[in-house]
Chain A
Amino acid sequence: EAGVAQSPRYKIIEKRQSVAFWCNPISGHATLYWYQQILGQGPKLLIQFQNNGVVDDSQLPKDRFSAERLKGVDSTLKIQPAKLEDSAVYLCASSTEGAPHNEQFFGPGTRLTVL
């Protein structure tokens, strides 16, 4: 079974530029999460989707971050414009449904460096 796919794996941009990350969850997984992991810290939830709909985006900086999940499968996370403090690894995870006892499967992440 293929795991969660993310691209690109690495991205370097200048501050104030835009960037987008892509995630393809495990086939059949209805729930998709984006986490931000800053160096030396644990991952922090940015947004949770259940199929096409947003379940929780309370920690998403909506003035610069946006995310969508068209057709309930792939998802993109965008930052516009980027700030230095956005340098982090962005992790995508998926699970079979929105139940906390179901395992979240994580992708390898996209490492963003903002200069």
Chain B
Amino acid sequence: AQSVTQLGSHVSVSEGALVLLRCNYSSSVPPYLFWYVQYPNQGLQLLLKYTSAATLVKGINGFEAEFKKSETSFHLTKPSAHMSDAAEYFCAVSPYWYSGGGADGLTFGKGTHLIIQP
């Protein structure tokens, strides 16, 4: 069984400030981890993914996340927030195994709404 906990349903930062969105996971098998962004009335877009290679993962739009197994965390950061970053962010987990055609639907957290103050 897998689960994801995102701390903070809303996070507010000033433009130009550091963005930190927290994600902790629980998984009985080694996980794949993802961050998705959702803009209003749109589908989800992949920001970045951890697939057991490098623990520091760089994504699009200047975002990055670090996988910490000892802390079961995968927090998302961006050094300098931009107004266009305002959106809903979802952390998700998928089982590691791949046997071709296996069940690999994502388990999502409840999301964090990022607010950027001018």
Contact = CB atoms under 8 A, between A and B. Distances in A.
Interface stretch (B11-19, B41-49, B75-83): B41-49
Contacts, number: 74
Given A103-B49, A107-B43, A50 B101 contact: yes
Q: Which of B41, B42, B105 has the most CB of A within 10 A?
A: B105
A42 B49 contact: no
Chain B contact patch, size range:
20 to 34
25 contacts: A3-B43, A35-B105, A35-B106, A40-B9, A40-B110, A42-B111, A43-B90, A44-B108, A48-B104, A55-B102, A56-B103, A56-B105, A91-B44, A97-B100, A98-B100, A98-B102, A98-B103, A99-B98, A100-B95, A100-B97, A101-B98, A103-B46, A106-B43, A107-B43, A109-B43
